[in-house]
Structure 1
């Protein structure tokens, strides 16, 4: 497959466009045009200043679906594979989707179908679901990203969208998925315009009410480019019709279509017109944003939209390790997945190193700045930006006062109370750990030797403790900084970065700006984790939803007791995920208190709910089970194993591609060779339970 020269940049701008559109449209979701006009008079920037935007289903589904392509290609991808992606990363009852109930919420209905053994495409079809439930808006809003994966290959983009949408939807919702993905794919064409794109893709759609709607609107738009007149047309013909369900695809698609056709190829106008039409505004503007973002590129999207994103989005999958994402890395992954899909090129993974190389405009990768609270002189302005040609991040700090402390840093974790919304509550697990090593290079541009600024690497924990390297005085020359994060107990890493101090205690800084640059920032080494689970605190999202801090969960029901964590959910299975294995070996110890009727265990190499190696204790045995997907698992070995009632210690070691299991210091499985079982050896760790209230998980240690 021939890729456009500007392929990555357009993928990046496409993702940015979608995320901008979603956040722009969120405050008015399900409002009508008249209500929006009554409240807002300007649409040239975000309507609400979200301090931190929690998560949104419209971009999460795309990320989840594309995760499934890591091991698949054009030759072996089927609709059923997309069901595996859903079941592997979507937790049960929280996050990712609207859990509105069977035959009310389309995605929830399909999820129930999949759990009941109904395979796709039947899971989303009219054969097993009410007609109207299959034609809600999710089909088109979750599948536009296939156009990013298939640049200029419109037919393949539409095929992928059809396959994925069919897991959860049918009818016009699937046609909508094909339309949106096709428009994104064609947006990569040089010197194209949005009207031509829409017309060409509409012509390729199969006969359907959705195609009739597109054709009619295109014809009307030829008579008038005035948005208000186009809106009056769709209001009469589509918005005032009584389409069944909570959010049928056709009215929202009509709003999106006139927003595109009246935009005059302007990103800003497309967003404004699509939002002003009302209906499902976050989804509609997200669709318009991705199409227009891919069409106009980064130069066509004003920085006022991009900078507040900080190159970071939050997700709410079951895997907490995936829930802090960088948009630039998501774009790189889309490019890599495309090449994997079309050419079979294997995706390389360097598990032992995390890198922030600042190689693309706006790719801050979560880095941000902060200053102390002193406002004696002036309100402090501080920000950072990427210089992509030289691959460094520059931080600007203004009006520093004596002994000021200021920072450039990123978050390894976010607390629930840091988010301004709570629609798709993201359970986050830290991405950086004690025992790891921070390395980077720092310089102070135009340093003033008469007023010294010192720098040190730092980590801050969730309990507020700060650990730092030694200070070094910054200069115009690049200086190497290294810091070994100390071994910590019962703490999680919250923030990571560089901390600076204005050393002059008597004078205000004479410069209006201090400019400090960072490059080659990386974190290496084996994570060390030691947690007394009785000391875990609870992260509260809503009255219904909480989770143990630092862990993500399969479903509700984990409670903190005086001695540890226990599962109180009466459903058959529950699991907690934490940590990261980015090394070639580990030693995992779990202390538990076992009661009657136990059925529990732990997992390693956890890449998803049904992608892991599990050690399951039940009926006086321990089984090693390789879960390959939600329909397929393999029993690798089984030995006698009888935990005592009361306190027990489980231990799993992985060395030289061989895994061993101990119970109460007794070796039960010795150097079992896993290299022949096609097991990916990265991922997280877990605690798992199949019988509520039968086990208390007391302590975990990874080294």
Structure 2
């Protein structure tokens, strides 16, 4: 299969288009056209500040889109991925009542209803079928809003994109909702190689029944588009024939799909105009604008995103993907573009893309990319700063332009590595996240001063850490002097932060003479190695240290004497800390089981249902288990005298294929060389129908 030569960049543009649309439409989601016109007027640009809301927020459109596609990673990169496998990914990555979905209740929220079915053992596609949930519930909008990832891994393959969207959609939806998803996925896949909007629509129509309501709706809108030069007239026709009042439920797919088709017909080559139309038209604005933005991003590329106002700058690539894999939550459009493009390459039988700059986490190698970096404001960040992206040594790099820096003035740029303080102001959707990097890891950055710079500068690495009042405090590495035209490799083993999460990393630039002006080029920033830290309750009464754990338990409170006390009412509860970058490491600490059928530690945790468990049981066993979906395989077992309300000294080590577990001097070892083995993931505390506590967990190299 011939892949487009600019495949990666078009995926990047598609991801950015999705984000721009979601963040444009989110602040007034659910408003009618009439209310939008009365209170906001036509939506020409971001309006979040006018409504006192953050710009980059948690949202189901983003979290679901970029989480559910990971079923390909977990169950095999194959064209025949099944709805049942995607449903299993739901159960691994979705934290009940906390992550990804609108938890509006059984029969109210289609996704919540489907998740409840999955949880009680009803597999997909039955979990989302009309037979299970009724037509009204099954035909809400959700199947459509999550499909962009499936299209971006199937460039120029509309049939494959539609098939994947069909299977993914049927986890939670059925009927016209799935037809809408299939059609739009096929359009996006074809948009990699075609730019005629009528051809894209015809391509999508080939994937669904000709007598479906979605097909009839599109015929109507095409006719209205030809008859009415003004989109407002067609919008009124849609409201009259396909409006919300014609369909049951909270957010039916039909009215919203109609607005999407209308928008791309009236503005196929104008990203801003299409966004203005779809957002001003109202109803489910973030969903509709996100799908439209992704399609036009793919079709018109990065240049198409840049022809109007600066939509990219305020976002700076940032995205939040709340899920049970907390290390994937603080994310950016560059990272996601590479992830999706690599899936697409492998689906097409091609080797993966080479990791830029030897696998650096921040490499800025796509045009205009910033990977979350923005100027830091604050007392010591007083210089004038502008951030950009430039060609550099055959690739690309971040640029930091500064002006008039004196000896006591700094120009600082940072990027988030954990939950921002704005999460406290986000509505509807929680953010489940863990930090990206940790004490003991080595942070590196390669920088170069432009040869035209005026004055010598000092550069230093910076981390920003939450303090006892949940405010950010700066911790800096030793400065390095950089003359004009010179380069430097900044290196720093990250210090102990006293149990507090690292919220941001960055680079500070300080003048050393009377005045410094110029540009610092940041080639890459990376971190490596196993963490070396103690997870504990830090000083003060802050809460971000606790929110740095993915909370998959019924109860997790900081108000008990022990730092970590969890309780689970039904089934298994787990809290998870760490990232998929953790490979070989050990975790140790004293664990107390207050009640439960079993409890202990997890390592290489990749969500709620993918990890190794090192646990002791109520019936007198000590076990190493591999949990993968509904299958729990005991890898090793021996007798152990488990007592409630007694500290048990535990240590578990993951090294290569070997897992070792010690509890109060009793040792156990297991080897896992199977295809289902886990190679990476975070640490966890787990308990089954009871309560467990620990005061600190120490993490170190294996």
TM-based fold match above 0.5: yes
**Once the two structures are superposed, what CA deviation does each residue of 1:180-203 show, in whole Å capped at 9, x if it has no partner?**
10111121124x222332244235
Count, aligned residues: 683
Matches within 5 A, 1:546-557: 548-557=546-555
Distance 2:411 2:690 in 1: 47
Q: In 2, are the aligned partners of 1:534 and 1:698 still within 8 Å (CA)?
A: no
What's the offset of the Cα at 1:389?
4.6
What's the offset of the Cα at 1:360?
0.8
Determine which of 399, 403, 409 is the counterpart of 1:398.
403
Matched, 1:602 2:607: no
Q: In 2, are the aligned partners of 1:231 and 1:255 still within 8 Å (CA)?
A: yes
Q: In 2, are the aligned partners of 1:53 and 1:420 still within 8 Å (CA)?
A: no
SS in 1 for 2:311: helix
SS in 1 for 2:95: coil
Distance 2:538 2:690 in 1: 18
**Once the two structures are superposed, what CA deviation does each residue of 1:225-269 show, in whole Å capped at 9, x if it has no partner?**
320121121122111642000011101111111111111421111
Determine which of 493, 496, 499 is the counterpart of 2:502.
493
Distance 2:320 2:540 in 1: 23
**Once the two structures are superposed, what CA deviation does each residue of 1:409-442 show, in whole Å capped at 9, x if it has no partner?**
2222124445642321112211111111122222
After superposition, the Cα gap between the structure-2 partners of 1:534 and 1:494, relative to the gap in structure 1 and judged at 3 Å, is closer
Larger mean CA deviation between 225-234 and 465-474 belongs to: 465-474
Q: In 2, are the aligned partners of 1:326 and 1:366 still within 8 Å (CA)?
A: yes
Distance 2:320 2:536 in 1: 27
Larger mean CA deviation between 571-580 and 328-337 belongs to: 571-580
After superposition, the Cα gap between the structure-2 partners of 1:164 and 1:262, relative to the gap in structure 1 and judged at 3 Å, is same
SS in 1 for 2:10: helix
Matched, 1:341 2:368: no
What's the offset of the Cα at 1:539?
3.7
Determine which of 358, 361, 382 is the counterpart of 2:364.
358
Q: In 1, are the aligned partners of 2:406 and 2:510 still within 8 Å (CA)?
A: no
Larger mean CA deviation between 140-149 and 8-17 belongs to: 140-149
Matches within 5 A, 1:244-323: 244-302=248-306, 304-323=310-329
Q: In 1, are the aligned partners of 2:464 and 2:474 still within 8 Å (CA)?
A: yes
Q: In 1, are the aligned partners of 2:567 and 2:687 still within 8 Å (CA)?
A: no
Q: In 2, are the aligned partners of 1:54 and 1:425 still within 8 Å (CA)?
A: no
Larger mean CA deviation between 214-223 and 18-27 belongs to: 214-223
Q: In 1, are the aligned partners of 2:153 and 2:343 still within 8 Å (CA)?
A: yes
**Once the two structures are superposed, what CA deviation does each residue of 1:332-388 show, in whole Å capped at 9, x if it has no partner?**
1111111222327579999x964322211122222222254489xxx9642311214
Matched, 1:662 2:668: no
Distance 1:66 1:525 in 2: 28
Matched, 1:520 2:524: yes
SS in 2 for 1:595: strand
What's the offset of the Cα at 1:677?
5.7
Distance 1:558 1:584 in 2: 26
Aligned residue in 2 for 1:164: 168
Aligned residue in 2 for 1:544: none
Determine which of 672, 675, 678 is the counterpart of 1:674.
672
Q: In 1, are the aligned partners of 2:604 and 2:611 still within 8 Å (CA)?
A: yes
Distance 2:108 2:353 in 1: 39
Q: In 2, are the aligned partners of 1:353 and 1:525 still within 8 Å (CA)?
A: no
Distance 2:580 2:171 in 1: 32
Matched, 1:502 2:511: yes
Unaligned runs of 5+ in 2: none
Q: In 2, are the aligned partners of 1:538 and 1:549 still within 8 Å (CA)?
A: no
SS in 1 for 2:419: coil
Matched, 1:614 2:644: no
Matches within 5 A, 1:190-589: 190=194, 192-206=195-209, 207-239=211-243, 241-302=245-306, 304-343=310-349, 345=351, 354-373=360-379, 381-390=384-393, 391-401=396-406, 403-417=408-422, 420-446=425-451, 451-463=455-467, 466-475=474-483, 476-504=485-513, 507=514, 509=515, 513-533=517-537, 539=543, 548-560=546-558, 561-580=560-579, 582=581, 585-589=584-588
Distance 2:574 2:244 in 1: 46
After superposition, the Cα gap between the structure-2 partners of 1:563 and 1:297, relative to the gap in structure 1 and judged at 3 Å, is same
Q: In 2, are the aligned partners of 1:194 and 1:265 still within 8 Å (CA)?
A: no
Aligned residue in 2 for 1:543: none
SS in 1 for 2:159: helix
SS in 1 for 2:361: strand
Larger mean CA deviation between 266-275 and 582-591 belongs to: 582-591
After superposition, the Cα gap between the structure-2 partners of 1:284 and 1:680, relative to the gap in structure 1 and judged at 3 Å, is same
**Once the two structures are superposed, what CA deviation does each residue of 1:255-304 show, in whole Å capped at 9, x if it has no partner?**
11111111142111111111111110111111111111111110011261
Distance 2:627 2:16 in 1: 35
After superposition, the Cα gap between the structure-2 partners of 1:374 and 1:607, relative to the gap in structure 1 and judged at 3 Å, is closer
After superposition, the Cα gap between the structure-2 partners of 1:347 and 1:628, relative to the gap in structure 1 and judged at 3 Å, is farther
SS in 2 for 1:428: coil
Aligned residue in 2 for 1:647: 647
After superposition, the Cα gap between the structure-2 partners of 1:66 and 1:656, relative to the gap in structure 1 and judged at 3 Å, is closer
Q: In 1, are the aligned partners of 2:18 and 2:294 still within 8 Å (CA)?
A: yes
Distance 2:223 2:553 in 1: 49
After superposition, the Cα gap between the structure-2 partners of 1:366 and 1:556, relative to the gap in structure 1 and judged at 3 Å, is farther
SS in 1 for 2:431: coil
Distance 2:244 2:632 in 1: 50
What's the offset of the Cα at 1:48?
1.8
After superposition, the Cα gap between the structure-2 partners of 1:468 and 1:425, relative to the gap in structure 1 and judged at 3 Å, is same
What's the offset of the Cα at 1:141?
1.2
SS in 2 for 1:548: helix
Aligned residue in 2 for 1:698: 695
After superposition, the Cα gap between the structure-2 partners of 1:178 and 1:402, relative to the gap in structure 1 and judged at 3 Å, is same
**Could you tell me the TM-score, scaled by structure 2's length?**
0.92
After superposition, the Cα gap between the structure-2 partners of 1:624 and 1:353, relative to the gap in structure 1 and judged at 3 Å, is farther
Distance 1:393 1:469 in 2: 20
Q: In 2, are the aligned partners of 1:353 and 1:524 still within 8 Å (CA)?
A: no
Q: In 1, are the aligned partners of 2:465 and 2:497 still within 8 Å (CA)?
A: no
SS in 2 for 1:246: coil
Query: How big is the alpha-carbon RMSD for the aligned residues of Structure 1 and Structure 2?
Result: 2.5
What's the offset of the Cα at 1:656?
4.7
Distance 1:418 1:59 in 2: 15
Aligned residue in 2 for 1:638: 637
SS in 1 for 2:334: helix
Matched, 1:625 2:625: yes
After superposition, the Cα gap between the structure-2 partners of 1:628 and 1:345, relative to the gap in structure 1 and judged at 3 Å, is farther
